[in-house]
């Protein structure tokens, strides 16, 4: 199958990955209404086609948090990405660097900060979940700083894991011990290509960034139980003072859907926020990112850099998010599918597709520079 779009890489990922890993990438919480809305609400946004505009030279370049980017796109944080391709976070970081886009390493990555930094990928962003052990958190932030991470993405919408039915059915959640291990092993045997490339030759399989608090385990034995036991549900806005004391670079608050929370993020001194519902994986029935974005951008867009994610499957969707008020867009499932379906080359290809699709969308809406994309290119 020759991939021509993100949807093609989704199908390639489904064919290649063990069932429990594909369901983890692909699924959302509860009945997955918000997951579907993320995609549908973006698709429903109508653009104004304009003609006889000089679009002979299209400029996609922009700046975010003092960093020059080739286009207004970053790879957002994806947990367990090192299981989608062999040492997957390293492969994705290399593809992002080649495309001039930031890569964001998840706290819950397989490849640790120092492994990604050692790959020579240049500055990357680090995504943080707040774990109860504050001493460990200081050490983790010190590692990120020493590795040259240029921004901290603080995810705030996972005080507890959402109810993800697909992960229970597949055996990733709620199946600890021998029974769960055998169930996942059986699914792995059904994907011999992945078993050889990643299962055997992609080891070690553990949560590299949080290894010091895993007490000799991998963190994968009962993934969601570990999150429930270790993520700090008592975290509040006051904890930003702790972060600022341990991190002197840009701080981006990820997981904002409410205008009041956006105002609080701006008041807190954060440098940016990401309008996000965690890809529909937390509170089902919440607003889609596209629905929440305009009011947030209008309320705080002159005080703080507003980014967005959720439902983005093409460069056309990137342009829609920019028109709704974001200054940049984080890709999530788009690059996860590509990594699973085509490795680092797949991620590189998706970024090429996104770039080309942004250029076409800009040309057909009569816009030559990314900075000129705004609500005036929307119809209705």
Positions marked catalytic: 278
Query: 331 forms bridges with which residues in the sheet?
Result: 75
- DSSP label of 195: I
The whole-angstrom separation of Cα 136 and Cα 211 is 10
Residue whose token pair is 């105002």: 263
CB count within 10 Å of CB 212 equals 11
The whole-angstrom separation of Cα 97 and Cα 76 is 14
Query: What distances in angstroms separate CA 221 from CA 174, 208, 218, 282, one per listed residue?
Result: 10, 14, 7, 21
Q: Please, what is the Cα angle at 150 between 209 and 244, to 5 degrees?
A: 80
Tokens coding 311:
């439902």
Contact yes or no for 123/150 (Cβ under 8 A): yes
Q: Is 162 helix (H, G, I), strand (E, B) or coil?
A: coil
Tokens coding 168:
């229970």
Q: Is 235 helix (H, G, I), strand (E, B) or coil?
A: coil
Q: Is 64 helix (H, G, I), strand (E, B) or coil?
A: strand
Q: Is 9 helix (H, G, I), strand (E, B) or coil?
A: helix
Tokens coding 82:
């090192």
Identify which of 123, 45, 7 has the alpha carbon closest to the alpha carbon of residue 318.
45
The whole-angstrom separation of Cα 144 and Cα 348 is 25
The whole-angstrom separation of Cα 13 and Cα 109 is 19
Q: Is the dihedral of CA 9, 115, 254, 318 positive or negative?
A: negative
Query: What distances in angstroms separate CA 356 from CA 58, 160, 271, 326, 329, one per listed residue?
Result: 11, 38, 29, 19, 15
The whole-angstrom separation of Cα 152 and Cα 141 is 9
Q: Is 100 helix (H, G, I), strand (E, B) or coil?
A: coil
């Amino acid at each position: 199958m020759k991939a021509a779009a993100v949807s093609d890489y989704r199908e390639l990922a489904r064919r290649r990955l063990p069932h429990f890993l594909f369901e983890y990438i692909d699924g959302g919480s509860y009945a997955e209404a918000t997951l579907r809305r993320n995609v549908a609400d973006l698709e429903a946004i109508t653009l104004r086609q304009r003609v006889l505009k000089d679009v002979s030279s299209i400029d996609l370049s922009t700046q975010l948090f003092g960093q020059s980017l080739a286009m207004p796109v970053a790879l957002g944080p994806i947990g367990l990405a090192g299981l989608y391709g062999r040492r997957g976070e390293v492969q994705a970081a290399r593809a992002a660097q080649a495309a001039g886009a930031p890569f964001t390493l998840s706290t819950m990555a397989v490849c640790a900060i120092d492994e990604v930094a050692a790959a020579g990928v240049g500055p990357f962003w680090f995504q943080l979940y707040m774990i109860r052990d504050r001493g460990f958190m200081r050490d983790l932030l010190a590692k990120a700083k020493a590795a040259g991470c240029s921004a901290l993405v603080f995810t705030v919408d996972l005080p507890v894991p959402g109810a993800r039915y697909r992960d229970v059915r597949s055996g990733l959640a709620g199946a600890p011990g021998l029974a769960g291990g055998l169930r996942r092993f059986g699914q792995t045997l059904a994907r011999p290509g992945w078993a050889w490339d990643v299962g055997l030759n992609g080891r070690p399989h553990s949560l590299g960034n949080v290894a010091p608090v895993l007490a000799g385990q991998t963190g994968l034995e009962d993934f969601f139980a570990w999150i429930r036991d270790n993520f700090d549900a008592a975290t509040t806005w006051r904890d930003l003072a702790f972060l600022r004391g341990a991190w002197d670079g840009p701080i981006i608050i990820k997981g904002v859907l409410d205008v009041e929370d956006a105002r609080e993020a701006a008041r807190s001194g954060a440098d940016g926020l990401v309008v996000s519902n965690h890809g529909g994986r937390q509170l089902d029935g919440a607003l889609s990112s596209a629905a929440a974005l305009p009011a947030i951008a209008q309320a705080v867009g002159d005080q703080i850099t507003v980014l967005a994610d959720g439902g983005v499957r093409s460069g056309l969707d990137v342009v829609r998010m920019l028109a709704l008020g974001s200054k940049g867009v984080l890709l999530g499932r788009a690059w996860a599918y590509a990594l699973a379906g085509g490795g680092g080359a797949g991620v590189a290809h998706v970024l090429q597709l996104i770039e080309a699709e942004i250029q076409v969308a800009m040309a057909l809406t009569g816009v030559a520079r990314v900075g000129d994309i705004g609500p005036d290119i929307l119809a209705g």
